[in-house]
Amino acid sequence: YFTNFDRRHNVNLLGSYLLGADKQWELGLRWNLGSGFPFTQTQGFYEQAPVEDNPVLIDFLTGNYNLTPLLSSERNGGRLSYFHRLDASIKRSWNFSKYSRLEATLSVTNAYDRRNVFYVDRITNNRVDQLPILPSLGLTFHW
């Protein structure tokens, strides 16, 4: 069977460009494409009704009890959909001396807000996605 984090295909394209008279600006892009992770498919469900409590008071037609999934006998036989995202950044540097420098970085993870699936809840069938568009700002001081 395929291991939980088996990714058959993974492509990363990276690029950066320095701008300005003193090369104090840096633009960066990273694009990632990967095949989906494997998962064990659900074949169905069965309910575990608490008949030992009081079987006379249980409404078997409308009651919702603990659902237990029936998993496929083929472990990790399914695959999630392909994953891709674009990350972008712009960085500005200020040199104070030979040994000290300040950098300010603005970056955006998943710049085109791709809905990459993380997993699907087996009971509710709700899809849970990975990170949405995520801006960040950072400062780094080197000495």
What is the C-alpha to C-alpha distance for residues 35 and 59, in angstroms, rounded to an integer? 45
pLDDT range class, residue 48, cuts 50, 70, 90 = low
Sheet strands (E) in 49-97:
66-71, 78-79, 83-95
**What is the 8-class DSSP label of residue 98?**
S
96 pLDDT more than 90: yes
pLDDT at residue 71, rounded to an integer: 76
pLDDT at residue 56, rounded to an integer: 57
Q: What is the DSSP string of 41-62?
A: PEEEEEEE--TTT-TTS--TTT
Question: What's this model's pTM, rounded to 2 decimal places?
Answer: 0.75
